[in-house]
Chain A
Amino acid sequence: MTLIVKPYSEKHAIRNVVFAFEFTNPLSTIALREIRASKLHSRLIEDLDLPQHSEQTAVTVNIGAHGAVPSFGSGTPELTGLTYAHSKPNGEAAWAVSIQSNALVVTCGDYQRWDGTWKKVSLFLAETLPSILSNTQINVIALQYLDEFSLHGSREDWDLKALFSKDSKYIPRNLTDIKGACHSHHGYFDFPESPDSYKRLTNINIGVTESGDALIAQIYSVHKCLLSSPLVGSVEELIGESGFIRKSFADLHKENKNIVGDLLNQEVKDKINFDGSK
């Protein structure tokens, strides 16, 4: 019996993609309340088709010094995040925009091709970034992918060489000899532009779990631009054709494609038309 390798969806293996921005200063509860009361709130829910709205709150507890009794700060929960989403039938987010006190996160769980995905992400960014940038600044741009494959077959046939390239420089050689659950986590900095601009953090974490007669292999990759100074410019400029945000995400996407392309063996890449799509 042979091992059958299946990507997460029919056309590709991407389970979700996240576009994230981290802030220099946390958004205050007041700023989050203002966003909730603004036109953006209804735009996201009604016009941008993210009808599931939820809010995150936190309660501050003051730890008493020298044996004093701990007390609650204001006593009322503080608003720390707003999330707008549209779910798939399985409960995972097809699309979500999450405005947290320290980050803006756009999640795509319905990935098609990069151009179409970016087009939709840029719509969300055009709406949300003005409210963010009027309250704080951005000093991290990040792109995160979760690729998933399942390997079906009897246990004696389990073989990770059916998925991974044994020559990949991003995994230890031992990994492709393993016949079951395992993991490999790898991370490093590099400076694709001048060091004065940003340094890039890459994490490539591979996890393989056993599930019945299948092995589930997840490739979780994160690419972060840690900027040397906060982003400046209008939202239109930043996400426009040659804008810094657009260019950064395109570069990070390309880097992800290089890395995942190095991880997978050619047979799998052919199966998902890796070199022609993504």
Chain B
Amino acid sequence: MYATAPHLDSCASSAASYLVQGGPVSTIQRLGTIPEPSVSLIYLPTSSIELPETFEFARNINLAKVAKHIRSFVQLPIDWDGYGGIPASQASASDALEFLVRTPKYSRIPKAMLSGDGEISLYWDSSHAYAEASFPGDGTFHFFTDTPNAQNIIDGDDIDVRSNFPADLRRFLIHYFG
């Protein structure tokens, strides 16, 4: 929703899809800082409700869920997996969040995972294709893709997370996960 009415404060935060507004002065918060409500007004466990992508706000709500998952990796204890796993660095989480907001809106949103060495990855998975982007925490990401017959696969290294989304990865995601 692009909020418009009734007053200018609402108008100011027009792109409400990504933004939240609070207090008498409009404040805008980026995806990574969307606050959780302190009191739930919904009786059902909201985590069990899957929002269809056709719901206008679904993309941003689902992105916020992934963002929360990414941030949770930083909070993990050492040896979180029982094999000496280390938590994610703040830098890896920040890079993953920067990448997340740049993922093509045409395609589905990715899921997040953490490897034992503390590197966060985002991935798309189906029976037809797989794609994964990983964030070592130095402001770059690397990615690879896979398909059952190894056709159309692509990869890339040391790409600035703040640069334009790679066109070949965008095409792959739209083709297999659009």
Interface residues of B in 53-95 (CB under 8 A from A): 53-56, 71, 74-75, 77, 87, 90
**B6 pairs with A103, CB closer than 8 A:** no
Q: Cα distance A91–B11 when bound, in Å? A: 11
Q: Cα distance A22–B19 when bound, in Å? A: 13
* Residues of B close to A230: CB separation below 8 A: 164
Given contacts A58-B28, A91-B6, whether A107 and B14 have CB atoms under 8 Å apart is yes
* Residues of A close to B75: CB separation below 8 A: 65-66
Q: Cα distance A224–B13 when bound, in Å? A: 19
Q: Cα distance A16–B6 when bound, in Å? A: 10
Number of interface residues of B (CB under 8 A): 46
**A87 pairs with B8, CB closer than 8 A:** yes
CB contact between B27 and one of A57, A140, A185 (< 8 Å): that residue: A57
Q: Cα distance A261–B54 when bound, in Å? A: 22
Q: Cα distance A31–B75 when bound, in Å? A: 33
Nearest chain A CB to B160 CB, angstrom units: 11
CB contact between B54 and one of A26, A54, A107, A187 (< 8 Å): that residue: A187
A222 close to chain B: CB less than 8 A:
yes
**B74 pairs with A100, CB closer than 8 A:** no
Map CB proximity to A onto B96-137 as digits: 1 under 8 Å, 0 otherwise: 000001101110000000000000000000000000000000
* Residues of A close to B53: CB separation below 8 A: 189
A273 close to chain B: CB less than 8 A:
no
Interface residues of B in 141-178 (CB under 8 A from A): 162, 164-165, 167, 170-171, 174, 178
Q: Cα distance A101–B102 when bound, in Å? A: 12
Interface residues of A in 104-160 (CB under 8 A from B): 105, 107, 109, 137, 139-140, 142, 144, 146
CB contact between A187 and one of B15, B27, B56 (< 8 Å): that residue: B56
A178 close to chain B: CB less than 8 A:
no
CB contact between B6 and one of A92, A102, A144, A188 (< 8 Å): that residue: A92
**B12 pairs with A56, CB closer than 8 A:** yes
A18 close to chain B: CB less than 8 A:
yes
By DSSP majority rule, is chain A's interface helix, strand, loop, or mixed? Answer: strand
Given contacts A24-B102, A187-B54, whether A60 and B8 have CB atoms under 8 Å apart is no
* Residues of B close to A165: CB separation below 8 A: none
Nearest chain A CB to B107 CB, angstrom units: 9
A266 close to chain B: CB less than 8 A:
no
**A20 pairs with B14, CB closer than 8 A:** yes
CB contact between A100 and one of B6, B14, B77 (< 8 Å): that residue: B14
Q: How large is the interface on A (under 10, 10 to 19, 20 to 34, 35 or more residues)?
A: 35 or more
* Residues of B close to A229: CB separation below 8 A: 167, 170-171
**B27 pairs with A56, CB closer than 8 A:** yes
**B102 pairs with A81, CB closer than 8 A:** no
Given contacts A24-B102, A24-B164, A226-B106, whether A58 and B7 have CB atoms under 8 Å apart is no
Nearest chain B CB to A103 CB, angstrom units: 4
Given contacts A24-B165, A109-B4, A142-B2, whether A96 and B14 have CB atoms under 8 Å apart is yes
A203 close to chain B: CB less than 8 A:
yes
Chain A, residue nearest B94 (CB): A62
Given contacts A52-B8, A56-B12, A81-B13, whether A226 and B105 have CB atoms under 8 Å apart is yes
Q: Cα distance A137–B165 when bound, in Å? A: 10
Q: Cα distance A116–B87 when bound, in Å? A: 57
Interface residues of B in 1-43 (CB under 8 A from A): 1-2, 4-9, 11-15, 17-19, 26-30, 33
**B13 pairs with A103, CB closer than 8 A:** no
A256 close to chain B: CB less than 8 A:
no
**B52 pairs with A187, CB closer than 8 A:** yes
Nearest chain A CB to B76 CB, angstrom units: 9
* Residues of A close to B12: CB separation below 8 A: 54, 56, 81, 83, 98
CB contact between B174 and one of A58, A96, A228 (< 8 Å): that residue: A228
5 contacts between A and B (CB under 8 A): A24-B164, A58-B29, A63-B71, A188-B54, A189-B53
Chain B interface (Cβ within 8 Å of chain A)? 1-2, 4-9, 11-15, 17-19, 26-30, 33, 52-56, 71, 74-75, 77, 87, 90, 101-102, 104-106, 162, 164-165, 167, 170-171, 174, 178
State the 10 A-B residue pairs at the shortest beta-carbon distance, nearest first: A103-B15, A105-B14, A187-B54, A98-B14, A80-B28, A83-B12, A56-B28, A18-B2, A203-B56, A100-B15
